[in-house]
Amino acid sequence: MLKIAMIGAGSIGQSIIDHFVGKKQLEIALVYDLKTSSLEEVNKKYGIEVESNFDKFLARIKEVEVSLVVEAAGVEAVQSFSLSILNEGIDLALISTGIFGKEDFAQELKEVAEQKNCKIYLPSGAIAGLDGIRAAAVYPLESVVLTTTKSPKSLGIEAKERKLIFKGTAREAIEKWPKNLNVGVSLAMAGIGIDETQIKLFVDPSIEVNTHEIEADGTFGHLSIAVESFPSEMNPKSSILASLSMINLLERLTSHIIFM
């Protein structure tokens, strides 16, 4: 059985909890969040121990011998807590892959994970096809372009018609849209890197789904992938597929036959 703890009890965190409670392959020992109302909800609904103080959370996950901490709280939370967790020799699964847009911090994460012999697991998030991109990148890739379209509600902005609101590299994209373009950094890590991956972000008031279209060209040929994912009801900035990708990652970690 895999014993985990979680950081973040928002839309992604709660869907993970909801999926695994009562399943015998995985135990959620503790949930940490800053928002006490969310923690009370989790404790009341699922009977899981909760904590709103990080130092106490850290002490408790050591005490109950958690082997993996799952993050669903945002890039800033990863920056605040991930090194302390790795330093305790505990693995991480991060949904906020945008943290790898911060080069110096990403290097530190890698070094501490190596020193402590820990793993950092990254789910595919709201996009698909990263397996193909990773394989294609073994030989030179010429270009990787992501076109994301979201509703004004999902982006938290006003718009009356479809328009391009951002064009740039994956690094610039995550700096400007830390809650919406983690996908750009994931794609960059799988493919040609954060300064070479191109991102276009459209707002479109006529759509209700979040769409992500990937076009990649290279020595392997051409790859084209389109995903239409419903936004989470609890947080329209996040796609339902993002939660499902973390659930599936955890399922794979507890399985004996693993689709890579």
Ligand X SMILES: NC(=O)c1ccc[n+]([C@@H]2O[C@H](COP(=O)([O-])OP(=O)(O)OC[C@H]3O[C@@H](n4cnc5c(N)ncnc54)[C@H](O)[C@@H]3O)[C@@H](O)[C@H]2O)c1
Write the interaction track for ligand X spanning residues 138-177; mark x where CB under 6 A is met and - where it is not.
Answer: ----------------------------------------
Asked if 33 is part of the footprint of ligand X (rule: CB under 6 A), the reply reads yes
- Residue choice 4, 5, 11, 58 for contact with ligand X (CB under 6 A): 11
Write the interaction track for ligand X spanning residues 236-255; mark x where CB under 6 A is met and - where it is not.
Answer: --x---x-------------
Decide: residue 98, CB within 10 A, 0-12 exposed, 13-18 middle, 19+ buried. buried
Question: For residues 5 and 26, which CB has a smaller minimum distance to ligand X in the complex?
Answer: 5
Backbone angles phi, psi at 247, to 5 degrees: -60, -45
Asked if 73 is part of the footprint of ligand X (rule: CB under 6 A), the reply reads yes
Q: Which residue is nearest to ligand X (CB)?
A: 10
- Residue choice 148, 151, 154, 186 for contact with ligand X (CB under 6 A): 186
Within 121-140, the residues that bind ligand X by CB under 6 A are 125-126
Q: Positive or negative CA dihedral for 105, 81, 92, 122?
A: negative
Residues 6+ apart with CB under 8 A from 86: 92, 109, 112, 113, 116, 118, 120
Token digits of residue 168: 């740039």
Q: How far apart are CA 73 and CA 50, in angstroms?
A: 15
- Tell me whether residue 212 is one of the annotated catalytic residues: yes
Question: Which range touches ligand X (CB under 6 A), out of 26-34, 156-164, 189-197, 219-227?
Answer: 26-34
**Residue tagged 């989790």 (tokens):** 42
User: In this structure, are strands 141-150 and 210-218 parallel, antiparallel, or unpaired?
Assistant: antiparallel
Question: For residues 126 and 133, which CB has a smaller minimum distance to ligand X in the complex?
Answer: 126
Coil, strand or helix: which one is 165?
Answer: strand
Within 199-228, the residues that bind ligand X by CB under 6 A are none
- Residue choice 4, 6, 8, 136 for contact with ligand X (CB under 6 A): 8
Asked if 9 is part of the footprint of ligand X (rule: CB under 6 A), the reply reads yes
Contact (Cβ atoms closer than 8 angstroms) between residue 172 and residue 99: no
Question: For residues 29 and 220, which CB has a smaller minimum distance to ligand X in the complex?
Answer: 29
Residues 6+ apart with CB under 8 A from 124: 130, 186, 245
Asked if 82 is part of the footprint of ligand X (rule: CB under 6 A), the reply reads no
Nearest residue to 3 (alpha-carbon basis) of 67, 94, 79, 73: 67
Question: For residues 213 and 220, which CB has a smaller minimum distance to ligand X in the complex?
Answer: 213
Total count of residues recorded for the chain: 260
- Residue choice 7, 90, 189, 194 for contact with ligand X (CB under 6 A): 7
Binding site for ligand X (CB under 6 A): 7-13, 32-35, 38, 72-77, 80, 95-98, 125-126, 179, 182-183, 186, 232, 234-235, 238, 242
Known catalytic residues are 212
